[in-house]
Amino acid sequence: MNAALGRGGVILAFISALGGVGLLGYALLTKQRALLTQVTRFVGFVAAGAVLAFAAMERGLITRDFSMQYVAEHGSTRTPALYNFTTLWSALEGSILLWGLILAGYLVAVTAKFRRRLTDPLVGWALLVMLVVAAFFFGLMLGPANPFRTLSTVPLDGPGPNPLLQNHILVAFHPPMLYLGFVGFTVPFAFAIAALATGRVGEGWLVETRRWTLFAWGFLSVGIVLGAWWSYEVLGWGGYWMWDPVENASFLPWLTGTAYIHSVMVQERRGMLRVWNLSLLCATFSLTILGTFLTRSGVLDSVHAFSDSTIGPLLLGFFGLVVLVSVGLIGWRGDRLRAPGRIDSPLSREGAFLANNLLFAAFAFVVLLGTVFPLIVEAIRGDQLSVGEPYFNRMTMPIGLALLFLMAVAPALPWRKASTETLSKRLIWPASIGTAVLVFAVAVGASGLPTLVAFGLGGFAGAAALRQVVLATRRQGWRGLVGRTNGGMIVHLGIVLIAVAFAASSSYAHQRELVLAPGETARVGTHSVTYLGMRTIVDSAKTAREARIRIDGGQVYAPSLQRFPEGTSEVGRPSVQSGLVDDVYLALVEAPANPGGQARVRVIVQPLVLWLWVGGGLIAVGSMLAAFPGRRRRGTEPVSAPVTVAGPAPTPAAPDEVVREPVGSSLRTATDP
């Protein structure tokens, strides 16, 4: 019954998506705008089908319906309830089902948001694009990624999900957050294609998709940070980012999406960078498809790639189609995309944003090259090539430092042109803070030129962002925290914390592998660890052998080796003492062969790791604050308003942006909805 209901839901969603595409295509080509309003029915059926399929799969997992192949291969009667629920996205078919559910949710949200503008061709084309994407993914679920296949011989039990996917609660949050970000970029991409299709390539569509982009970017950012935290807490190697190809697959659209969020402000304010912004948005969505291909096609050997499937060619073909259509439309609308404005001076906010975009593009190119080059070499020559951490660290470090510098300088730059006097007034305090941070780092024993530069630039950029927030809150109270500019400064603070914590934890970690007898104590860095002995815990899901270790004479921690019923080997589960200054990371490498024997324990002391997760929290908060209106707001240009394409013209502020010069302050602030 579960399989039949789920298959029916997928069929309903697929047919409704195709029907919506047909209806919208006919209405748009024949200019029958009244027909466009009928798309709500098709969107509703897509959502109903997606919810039905999702519910049927979860019901199959919860009731242990082993007649379903997916449940038989990934479910188990011994899996705890939480991990039984998350089993849905623990393998290929279920993750595609989650993608379809989230996309259906975005479809409903966009239709509801623009319910009074459904007769507008721009909205019609955007919904058509989203329905095409939905039809593709639900089509996958009818073919090679079918989650509702059944078995003729029903097993009594299954192996359960991969042990790494039932070892930490973050499995319930990291993948859904990533998918909310990945799928969320479908919305601005769809409006970008709609703007190209209708020829309305001015700034109106940007205003309508601003919040959708910010929310998608925020979800993706939080998903990446949660993934790093999960890796840190589960894998046992003591790190949180290894430039794994699947990690890079999520990082690539984040880089291009971040570049777009910055450069779009230049287009709204000055009418420039139209081709560049459209290209960035199309690249971001394309990279989400490429990331799905890398993650779920089975082409990668990765600790994150839990799938081996035949959908690779289909995903790669869809990726190629998206790129081809995007490039073709941008080329077709080339004449209309000529910008009426130009950069008056490199020493201006738009000049800094352009430099910012070039650096992000270079960053993305370096990561993309290191990720896909081994695959290309293997496909052409059959040779296996590995691109490791040294390449990524060496190539991305100077780019990251340059971005930190721009984070400090760009908010202080006015539009059009900056004077030396203005810059000196705005940057003297942040530069002083950055210098003080650098001096303090040296005083406490920090060394290494790149790391010290990161500390100094981090203090500089953090102080610049904090200055903006302080001035805004002094002027407007708590409302000074709301709006794109000031919310963006909160995001900047989060990124600065992550950058500084990354530099510190990567450069100053102390690691020892200790062989300890019960009662024996050793020192690692400034901390003492005392091995107290072993204990074994058995439950229905696993058997865990825990080493009880006391840190600094205080709390006892228990790193363990866990064996799951269907597992072929033991899986390590580290234990971490987190602090404001450093973390003490414990991993049991080898348990005693005999009771009372010696245990082999890896101990890693890493400074400032906790601030990585605090920075991720600030990014989440700042993204939400940036998505909501500031104190003042003008009426925005409706999405249905025509776009006038003209030659050189005055460049007033974007219709939704209010620029104020506060009395007695040299800081110009934009408060945006």
At 309 the pLDDT is: 57
At 505 the pLDDT is: 92
At 654 the pLDDT is: 38
384 or 191, greater pLDDT: 191
CA-closest candidate to residue 495, choices 258, 275, 247: 258
- Write out pLDDT tens, residues 59-97: 999 999 999 999 999 999 888 899 999 999 988 899 999
At 200 the pLDDT is: 87
Give mean pLDDT, residues 113-117.
92
Neighbour tally for 179: CB within 10 Å: 22
- Write out pLDDT tens, residues 46-58: 999 999 999 999 9
Neighbour tally for 62: CB within 10 Å: 15
At 344 the pLDDT is: 67
Task: Please say if the pLDDT value at position 256 is more than 60.
Answer: yes
Do residues 499 and 434 lie in contact, with contact meaning Cβ atoms separated by under 8 Å? no
Rounded to 10 degrees, the C-alpha dihedral 302/306/312/314 comes to -140
348 or 647, greater pLDDT: 348
Q: Please name each of the domains of the chain with its CATH number.
A: 1-161 (1.20.120)
Do residues 577 and 555 lie in contact, with contact meaning Cβ atoms separated by under 8 Å? yes
104-113, 296-305, 402-411, 595-604: the lowest-pLDDT one: 296-305
At 635 the pLDDT is: 41
Task: Please say if the pLDDT value at position 632 is more than 90.
Answer: no
Task: Please say if the pLDDT value at position 649 is more than 50.
Answer: no
Rounded to 10 degrees, the C-alpha dihedral 290/48/85/242 comes to 10
At 268 the pLDDT is: 78
Residue 539 binned pLDDT confidence (cut-offs 50, 70, 90): confident
Residue 477 binned pLDDT confidence (cut-offs 50, 70, 90): confident
pTM of model > 0.85: yes
Q: What is the C-alpha to C-alpha distance for residues 452 and 6, in angstroms, rounded to an integer? A: 56
CA-closest candidate to residue 219, choices 359, 105, 58, 364: 105
At 239 the pLDDT is: 87
**How would you write 586-630 as a 3-class SS string?**
EEEEECCCCCCCCEEEEEEEEECCHHHHHHHHHHHHHHHHHCCCC
At 657 the pLDDT is: 37
Task: Please say if the pLDDT value at position 656 is more than 70.
Answer: no
19-23, 160-164, 259-263, 358-362: the lowest-pLDDT one: 160-164
Task: Please say if the pLDDT value at position 125 is more than 80.
Answer: yes
The label of the residue with tokens 């974007």 reads: 654
Q: What is the C-alpha to C-alpha distance for residues 587 and 576, in angstroms, rounded to an integer? A: 9
At 297 the pLDDT is: 62
304 or 625, greater pLDDT: 625
Of the spans 128-137, 260-269, 387-396, 413-422, which averages the highest pLDDT? 128-137
- Write out pLDDT tens, residues 184-239: 999 999 999 999 999 888 777 888 888 899 999 999 999 999 999 999 998 888 88
Task: Please say if the pLDDT value at position 147 is more than 70.
Answer: yes
Residue 546 binned pLDDT confidence (cut-offs 50, 70, 90): very high
CA-closest candidate to residue 53, choices 176, 140, 138, 150: 138
At 638 the pLDDT is: 42
Cβ-based burial of 292 (10 A; exposed 0-12, middle 13-18, buried ≥19): buried
Q: What is the C-alpha to C-alpha distance for residues 189 and 125, in angstroms, rounded to an integer? A: 11
Q: What is the C-alpha to C-alpha distance for residues 604 and 649, in angstroms, rounded to an integer? A: 61
Give mean pLDDT, residues 167-172.
89
Residue 230, token pair as written in the block:
């999960």
State what percent of residues in the chain have pLDDT above 90: 57
Cβ-based burial of 468 (10 A; exposed 0-12, middle 13-18, buried ≥19): buried
Give mean pLDDT, residues 360-386.
83
- Write out pLDDT tens, residues 478-488: 777 887 888 88
Q: What is the C-alpha to C-alpha distance for residues 183 and 114, in angstroms, rounded to an integer? A: 19
At 667 the pLDDT is: 32
82-86, 286-290, 424-428, 441-445: the lowest-pLDDT one: 424-428
Task: Please say if the pLDDT value at position 285 is more than 60.
Answer: yes
At 341 the pLDDT is: 64
Residue 490 binned pLDDT confidence (cut-offs 50, 70, 90): very high
At 301 the pLDDT is: 53
* Percentages (nearest 5) of helix, strand, coil residues in the chain: 60, 10, 30
Do residues 573 and 545 lie in contact, with contact meaning Cβ atoms separated by under 8 Å? no
CA–centroid distance for 296 within its chain: 17
Q: What is the C-alpha to C-alpha distance for residues 99 and 94, in angstroms, rounded to an integer? A: 9
Q: Chain-wide mean pLDDT for the chain?
A: 86
Q: Strand 571-573 vs strand 575-578: parallel, antiparallel, or unpaired? A: unpaired
The full length of the chain comes to 673
H or E element, residue 239: none
Give mean pLDDT, residues 587-599.
89
